[in-house]
Amino acid sequence: MRALDLTSLASAYAEGLTPTALVTEIHAAIRETGERPVWINLVPEKEALARAADLERRKAAGEALPLYGVPFAAKDNIDVAGVPTTAACPDFEFTPERSAAVIERLETAGAIVIGKTNLDQFATGLNGTRSPYGQPASVFDSRYVSGGSSSGSAVAVASGLVTFALGTDTAGSGRVPAMFNNLVGLKPSRGLISTRGVLPACRSLDCVSIFAGTVGDALKITEIASGYDAEDAYSRAAPKGSFAPGNWPEGFRFGVPEKPEFCGDDEAAELFDAAIARLERLGGIKVTFDYTPFRDAALLLYAGPWVAERLAAIKGFAETRPDSIHPVVREIVLGGARYSAVDAFEGQYRLAAFIQQVKPVWEEIDVMLLPTAPTIYTIADMLADPVRLNSNLGTYTNFVNLMDLSAIAVPGGFRTDGLPFGVTLVGHAFEDGKIAGFADRLHRALGTATLGGTGRPLPGKPLEAKGGGRIDVAVVGAHLKGLPLHRQLTDRDARFVRTAKTATGYSFYALAGTVPPKPGLVFDGSGAGGIEVEIWSVPVSEFGSFVAEIPAPLGIGTLALDDGTSVKGFVCEAHAVDGAENITKFGGWKAYLASR
């Protein structure tokens, strides 16, 4: 097959390739390799060719088609009109009259759906072995799992049969298969892509995900596929700038677990260390954090009441046709019946507590770097120990949707046995473009980056940052951590950078009559100084509104620091300190407050 990434495909179309010719090539390639186990049902070739011919007419008429003739696959829990949906359970099969919202949006943009792909039945699993339609394997070694539940989607892209594929991601199903097949797996913020027409796993958490060869392709497709849908109760409109690649300054801070777990896989540990080193060479500062609360939150997904949501999705079928369900899936799904409404609320309370507990972590980092999975298993080993090994694969993925975060998985190199490793960047909700911008830099810095299993090098140029950026601001008083005005920073997605001290020449005063109490920092060349400050990184888009909330006699100026650098920070008009208490000797506002 020819190269099918967006850059290469656009060039091929410019040189005379037609969508009808491409569809013919793809179907011929699938016939040669066989439909199973990657595909469950193909769109009939005649229908796909008719769709391609219609696109050629629309293009000739001048219609704008940003995904003109781009072939893609859809996981078989996503409805395509006229094509059976099975969710990898033959007895569950039905044929929808209407396509899912995401299919409609992609087809309107000119994309061509080739067929429906295999999956862990009812999207329950991270390994790809739980399907009666066969077990897709990693494109690099047929003895090893492909990852699930979006197994067929990942293999279809990694094999070079389609440009991109839709998966779904509840617990990591859009990320683990990406690692095992050397792909990019973009799990968007919850609600960005409508799930109307997608058979739920956990409806409140599910995301439609994108598998592609490059971050740029995945981000473009995600943006086109996204959009508020009034027919989806969980749909959310993307805030302005959600898809803009981030501008990462020198000295950005990335968080990594203090003691990452690799299930005894030393090569995976070495490759993760190499990814950390690449980020540091790209200007990042590593910040370690305690992964325990993230891990404990992740356990709620399968060892908590969210399992009941899996039962809710197929309750009638599961109760009347239990023997039609894969044994491992049946045990998990029917286990949801043991949870009560009280359990559900208690689970929500525990999750909220975990989210509150990890807020300080997010204040200290710009992005989180994790192994996508701790290791990879053979199909034989997975079948012998299906629950425990599958659980291991979710070590670094299960918490993300529970905590309403965005994530993108990218390749992270190869082990000596030729199997791929991968890492995931995790950010706040609606930071999809921001983390994608840096994920692309990380992917391209790999040096050995190729497209899936095709061996082709990454095409095109790195993503360019669009707008955005951040400004470092030094705060000295009521905006410090734990003090009354700190929320004016955190509500604007400000990130803690470091503590520092001013250079000499600054005097520090307790201003009278301020509510809440505030200090004033004045440069008077007195020879004093060394006033402690906290430096926070504020988004450029939020900087103006932050400054607008600062009352006179305070303002933002440029502070000199004791390390010879300078930063924007709080200063005070000189007249306001006449008669005020000089508190320079305390060396900082918190020390002064503690003395009172």
Q: What are the residue numbers of the active site?
A: 75, 149, 173
**Cβ within 8 Å of residue 176, ≥6 positions away:** 126, 147, 148, 185, 372, 373, 393, 394, 397, 409
- The full DSSP string for 538-573 is EEHHHHHHHHHTPPTTEEEEEEEBTTS-EEEEEEE-
Inter-axis angle of helices 432-444 and 215-225, to 10 degrees? 160
Long-range contacts of 18-23 (CB under 8 A, 24+ apart): 18/52, 18/56, 18/69, 19/52, 19/53, 19/55, 19/56, 19/68, 19/69, 19/112, 20/49, 20/52, 20/53, 20/56, 22/52, 22/69, 22/71, 23/48, 23/49, 23/51, 23/52, 23/71, 23/112, 23/114
Residue 60 CA to residue 464 CA, distance in Å, equals 31
Return the beta strands (E) in 24-79 as ranges: 39-42, 71-75
Q: Which two tokens stand for residue 226?
A: 């996204």
Long-range contacts of 436-439 (CB under 8 A, 24+ apart): 436/186, 436/215, 436/218, 436/219, 436/243, 436/245, 436/246, 436/408, 436/463, 437/244, 437/245, 437/246, 437/247, 437/248, 437/463, 437/465, 438/246, 438/248, 438/252, 438/367, 439/184, 439/215, 439/408, 439/410
Q: Residue for token digits 């016939």?
A: 31
Residue 262 CA to residue 258 CA, distance in Å, equals 13
Contact 188, 219 (CB under 8 A): no
Residue 429 CA to residue 136 CA, distance in Å, equals 31
**3-class DSSP state of 125:** coil
Residue (of 526, 487, 507) closest to 583 by Cα position: 507
Contact 173, 161 (CB under 8 A): no
Amino acid at 78: I
Burial class (CB in 10 A: 0-12, 13-18, 19+), 313: buried
Inter-axis angle of helices 266-281 and 432-444, to 10 degrees? 100
**Is the four-CA dihedral 299, 305, 306, 311 of positive or negative sign?**
positive
Residue 469 CA to residue 559 CA, distance in Å, equals 20
**Cβ within 8 Å of residue 301, ≥6 positions away:** 170, 171, 202, 205, 307, 394, 398, 399, 402
